Amino acid sequence: MRFDSTNFDDEVINSSLPVMVDFYADWCGPCKMMAPVVDEMAEKYSGKIKIGQVNVDDNPDLASRYNVMSIPTFLFLREGKVVDTAIGGIPKAALEDHLKKLL
């Protein structure tokens, strides 16, 4: 799922499910490495955790809002509030550990 400035509040802040947001850019090598892992987690946690991406080049306002200085940055939100963060290319198991904390 793609999050952007037009749908972020509805899809993320007001979500009844916990949310993971992947801040990325198309030119970012570590972001490209993480993309299949993010897709796999989105499928695995479908219906339990909403998982989506924000392109920082297209949505600099959202990157600024959450002080995203490095990509990929993963934000984990519950009830519209950031409860956890991970930065950089991380192992699949580590990403899944962050997701499990949301449940």
Nearest-angstrom CA–CA distance, 82 and 44: 22
Judge whether 40 lies within some domain. yes
Can you give the residue range of the structural domain that contains 93? 8-102
What integer pLDDT is reported at residue 55 of this predicted model?
A: 98
Total tally of structural domains belonging to the chain: 1
CATH code of 59's domain? 3.40.30.10
What integer pLDDT is reported at residue 93 of this predicted model?
A: 98
Other CB atoms closer than 10 Å to residue 27's CB: what's the count? Answer: 9
Question: What value does the mean pLDDT take over residues 44-48?
Answer: 98
Share of the chain above pLDDT 70, in %: 100
Active site residues per annotation: 28, 31
Judge whether 20 lies within some domain. yes
Strands laid side by side in the 19-24 sheet? 50-55, 19-24, 73-78, 81-87
Judge whether 16 lies within some domain. yes
Question: What value does the mean pLDDT take over residues 6-30?
Answer: 98
Judge whether 13 lies within some domain. yes
pLDDT tens per residue across span 55-74: 999 999 999 999 999 999 99
